[in-house]
Structure 1
């Protein structure tokens, strides 16, 4: 398994839509991911295996000190092999290089070990308002 990681890599909307749908359990749509990322993101990291998109994380930001990882997803057959950890580490390196001081993550309870143990996030108080 040779996985390569690419900051702000080129990808097809259909490929990311399919990966996102499989990872988050919803039907694939027709999201214009490239336009969304261009408008709202500091960058993103793509993980590739033999030309196939097997991982992705979006790095949104506030234009200053805060960056946020969103949509972290790894193809099912590559989970538990460190791909997600490497995606987030690359996101953190690039956010730091852009001058960000904080990287935030919001996640489901079952992902606590991934974010806290594998990726090194620490627990903090936060709030959430459903809209």
Structure 2
């Protein structure tokens, strides 16, 4: 398995709908067309021509980035793709000058975000991106 991770790759709304449905989520057609313009950027995962994972970064234009909508196709889960998507999103936020990365999640995802991705326990969940 050779996964190609891309920053701000061109993605169609239909691709995000299909990925959301493939990982068991409820897709809302038109969502990506609306959300994309508010993003700092996004990371996508591809195996050849197959789109298998995604994570979006919204931001406040300054110190705070927000990890939104990370998802991996059900057939590709538990291979480290989600962890790598989050790591690349974290690095991109840091490179953009953000100091904090926030994430909200459902309780069953706590081991993924805290143990695999390095978030710390707070009311919102965040990673300090800058020393000091």
TM over 0.5: yes
Displacement after TM superposition at 1:33 (Å): 1.2
Counterpart pick for 2:58 among 52, 57, 60? 60
Give distance in 2, aligned partners of 1:25 and 1:98. 30
- 1:21-100 paired onto structure 2 within 5 Å: 21-26=21-26, 28-38=27-37, 40-100=38-98
Q: 1:32 to 1:106 in 2, by over 3 A?
A: closer
Contact 2:24–2:74 at 8 Å: present in 1 too?
no
Query: Which stretches in structure 2 are left out of the alignment for 5+ residues?
Result: 125-132
Displacement after TM superposition at 1:2 (Å): 1.0
Number of residue pairs matched by the alignment: 124
Name the Cα RMSD after superposition. Answer: 1.3
Question: Which stretches of structure 1, 4 residues or more, deviate above 6 A after TM superposition?
Answer: none
Q: Deviations over 1:18-44 (max 9, x none)?
A: 112333532x44215144212x11000
